[in-house]
Structure formats: structure tokens, C-alpha cells
Structure 1
Amino acid sequence: MYRVAEPRLGVVRIREWRRRAHHTIGLLVLLLVVATTGLVVLDRSPASFFDKVFTGLWDGVNLVTTVGDFSEFNQFQKVFMLLAMFATLVIGGFAVSRLTGMLSGDDVMAYRENRIMERKLDHLARHVVVVGFHTLGELVANRLSAAGQTVLVLVGDQDQANRAADCGHMVVLGSPDVFDDVLRHARLDTARALVVTTPDSNNNLAITLLAHTLNATLAIVVPGENPLRKGLLESAGASAVIIADDIVADALVGKLTTQLETTP
């Protein structure tokens, strides 16, 4: 699910986590340098300076990574390592207290989900956009998906967005006052068609007009209440306007005619 009005706190938390992570890494690198330098200075063996540096670095890395595969220490090095181990525990506790749990909040999850959806939307093409996920929108989206079409659902309500996501559809969520931004994220330039299914006729007209403005060649299918509304929708750019009463009337007359023809 992509949220047009992304929770800003998620971005703040991510940045703060990165800052703290960099701070922690910096402390660990400083500890590694200090431990290596101290072990080299306290090394009383006849080994060459290069060997002392390598051994000190080896022990320093083992200290920082808590692997514990140390070389042999003299008495002074053991005392120094006790202090270094205490410093490692302090830094480790600092890292756990400062970093744990920061990336598990809902706002951070929304931020991550948006980044994933951005990549999917960037490569989206030949898809069918369904606006709204009320009863009609759900039927249309599910049947298109069952027919093998790639469906992108646009909604302005969180409950509808959740239901659409639960059905396996890609979703762009945005409040009605920013729905023009929702349409801009729907990749109408590469879409096959747009189906408008909201129960608000004025809303359908506005969406049709805006979608046609964004892509004048896009096939737009929308329901209409009457011939007057049909004319308005076609003027706004609708390719096909479906009047439900006409379909129901045709179905009723067809059924009635069939029964009358078979009735002696």
C-alpha cells in the first residue's frame, strides 16, 4: 500500500535511527583503535612491530565483535583488556537502549511500505486502475484480477484500503482533498484503463475530468445515473458510461420476453 500523505514521523524516526547507528559505529571504531593501540604499546614480546600491530588488531576485532578468540596476554595487557571489555559492555548497552524498537513503529512500517510501493509503481505498466473499493469497486477489481489483469486500486478511506490490500491488490491511499496526487501516483500514462466506481456522481465526474487531463488517450469507464449525467461524463473524457437502470431494464425485459415466448 502506498500512502500519499506519508506519516512524517516515520522519516524522522528513520533519520534518527541512522544518526544513532552512525554514532554507535563510531564508538566501536574508536574502541577498536584504542584497544589495538593499547595492546601494541603494552606488548613486551620480541615480535616485530608489524606482528604486534596485526596481533593487536586481531584481538581488538575479537573484542568489538565479542568473538573472544584472543591471543596470549601479558599481565599489563590483561588489565587493559578488562577495562576494554567493560567499555564494550557499556557501548553495547548504549546501542541496545538507543536502537532497539525504533524501527518497529507503525509510522516506520508505513515509510518502508511506501519505499517498496514506489519501486513497484515506477515499473507499473499495462494495468487497470480502479477508483473506489465499495461493493461495486470490489467486484470490478476482483473480477479483473481473476481475469489476469494487473489491478491498482485508488481509495480515500483506510478501511477500503485495508480490504483491497487483503484481497491482494496494489493500493494507493490518499484523502479526498489530495486525490489529484493519488491519480498522479497511479501511472495513468502507462495504464490500460481506468474504472471509476465511487458512489458519488460529482466525485466521479471530477475524477474522470482529471484523469482525462493527465492522459487524454486513456480508456475511462464510469457509471452514470441518467442520460444527462452520461453526457457530462462523456464531455469530461469518459470512453464509456454505464447507466445501471438501462442494464437492469434490458435484463428484466429480456427475461420477461423469454418467458412470454415460452408460455403457451
Structure 2
Amino acid sequence: MWIFRVDEPRLGAVRIREWRRRARHTIGLLVLLLGSAVTGLVILDQSNTSFSDKMLAALWNGLNLVTTLGAFSEFNQPQKVFMLLAMIATLVIGGFAVSRLTGMLSSDDVMAYGENRLMEPKLDQLANHVVVVGFHALGELVAERLHDAGQTVLVLVGDQVQAHRAADRGHLVVLGSPGDFDDVLELARLEKAKALVVTTPDSNNNLAVTLMAHALNASLPIAVPGENPLRKMLFESAGASNVVIADEIIANALVGKLTTRVEVDR
């Protein structure tokens, strides 16, 4: 499933930055704990060994404490009391880390942010593709026909349900709210596209998309459905190169069928 989300990853990026900040705090606390443990164990070491040996033993025990491996060396009584306190501190820091970090990277926002990072190279490499705006019945049919013809299809939608359905069909998808659709069109790499097909059921929306797309690439072929000759004229003025009036096509097809039947009956 390949969906680039224009809106949601902004919160995902915030969550990741916050997770990194909390992770740094946790690591800092663990380093402070390690340093305190090593210092305390060296000070409390009453053996006759050299300072370097004391340091090595203290570092070994400190790392075992922080990493919870538990392979400690022998302690004297003061060291045992000190390590008991250090273990309690480790449990506190571990609980802090679990409560503050767990689950942050598995939220939907973070997953969407990660998917966007994977999608960016795919969008950057797009060229000679066909952009389909909308994935209602008409948009789905157009995208499937283009895909079957071997074309690379990029679907632009403002609805999450349509986005998931298009992605499930194997299409690249850019999802953005209607208010951010100019950003969506800019991400569609219209300057490198072969054509644009606008298929949403809202004629005013189709007109706005046609205007924006033509402004981004005046030479881009744009196909859009129109309800009547007046709308066709408006779309052509907005930059559409091919306006299809569905009623005319249906009427021609029906009359053509009748004419053929009459000629056969004769």
C-alpha cells in the first residue's frame, strides 16, 4: 500500500521528534547512573588491587547493572548496599522509559510519516505518468483501464476510504484534504506527467482542479467530464483539452444501436 498523506505526517514528525527527545533524556539518565555506579563502586572497593583493576571491575558491574544482565562480581557489604540503591534507581529509570517511550512509534501518525518517507523517492522518480483525480466509480474505472494499458497511474484523492481502495488496487496515491489540494497537485509532478484525468462527481471541484493543473503545466493534456455545452466551454477556458459530455456519448450510442437494428431489419 503506497499512500502519501499531505496532512497527517506533520503530527507524526512531531511525535518522532518528541520520542527522540525523551530517548535522549532516558539515555542521559542511564549514562548518569552508570557513572555514579562506577564511581561509587570504586570508592567503596576495599580490596588491595590496583586502581585500574578496581575501575575495570566497577565498569563491569556498572554495565551489568544498566543492561540488566546481572553477571556481577563479588561485592563487600558497603558495595551491596550501594548496588541495592542503584538497582532501585535502574527500575525507576526503566519504568520511566517504558511509560514515556512505549507506543509512540506505533501510532497511526508515525506510521503515516514513515510511509511518506518511503513514498517521496517514488514521487520524485515519476515521469510520463497519468494522473487521475478522484476514485469514485468513474475514477476507479479510468485508473483500471489505464493500468491495464500499461500506464503508470497516480491517483489523487481527498478521501481516506478512496485512498485505501486505490492503494489496494496497486496504484500510487496522494491523499490530501480539499483545502490542501493545491499541495496535492504540486506533489503529482504534473510537469513530467503525460496527462491528467479529472473524474470527481463535483463539477465545480473539477473546474478548480483543471484551473490549478493548467496553471502548473499549461501544455498538459487534461480530460474532464462535462454536463452540458456551457460547462464544456468553461472547462476549455480553464485549460481542459478534452471535455466529454456523457449524455451526448450515451445518446449517440443509443441512436447508433437503433440505426443499426433498423438497417438490419430492412
Asked if these proteins are the same fold (TM beyond 0.5), I'd say yes
In structure 2, the partner of 1:263 is: 265
Q: Secondary structure of 1:27's match?
A: helix
In structure 1, the partner of 2:16 is: 14
Moved more, 54-63 or 143-152: 143-152
- Normalising by structure 2, what TM-score? 0.86
Moved more, 149-158 or 56-65: 149-158
Match of 2:34 among 28, 32, 35: 32
- Once residues 202 and 131 of structure 1 are traced to their aligned partners in structure 2, the CA distance between those partners, rounded to angstroms, is 13
Amino acid paired to 1:197: T
- Once residues 47 and 219 of structure 2 are traced to their aligned partners in structure 1, the CA distance between those partners, rounded to angstroms, is 81
Distance 1:143 1:69, change over 3 A: farther
- Once residues 118 and 224 of structure 2 are traced to their aligned partners in structure 1, the CA distance between those partners, rounded to angstroms, is 30
In structure 1, the partner of 2:180 is: 178
Match of 1:69 among 63, 71, 91: 71
Task: Tell me which stretches of 4 or more aligned residues in structure 1 moved more than 4 Å.
Answer: none
| Unaligned stretches of 5+ residues in structure 1 | none
Amino acid paired to 2:64: N
C-alpha deviation, 1:131, in angstroms: 0.6
- Normalising by structure 1, what TM-score? 0.87
Match of 2:92 among 72, 81, 90: 90
- Once residues 145 and 34 of structure 2 are traced to their aligned partners in structure 1, the CA distance between those partners, rounded to angstroms, is 60
Match of 2:247 among 207, 220, 245: 245
**More relative contact order, 1 or 2 (CA 8 Å, 6+ apart):** 2
In structure 2, the partner of 1:53 is: 55
Match of 1:167 among 164, 169, 192: 169
C-alpha deviation, 1:140, in angstroms: 1.1
| Unaligned stretches of 5+ residues in structure 2 | none
Distance 1:70 1:160, change over 3 A: same
Moved more, 164-173 or 132-141: 164-173
Moved more, 54-63 or 3-12: 3-12
What is the number of equivalent residue pairs in this alignment? 264
Q: Secondary structure of 1:103's match?
A: helix
- Once residues 63 and 145 of structure 1 are traced to their aligned partners in structure 2, the CA distance between those partners, rounded to angstroms, is 58
In structure 2, the partner of 1:199 is: 201
**CA-based RMSD:** 2.4
In structure 2, the partner of 1:145 is: 147
- Once residues 138 and 126 of structure 1 are traced to their aligned partners in structure 2, the CA distance between those partners, rounded to angstroms, is 20
In structure 2, the partner of 1:121 is: 123
In structure 1, the partner of 2:219 is: 217
- Once residues 226 and 35 of structure 1 are traced to their aligned partners in structure 2, the CA distance between those partners, rounded to angstroms, is 81
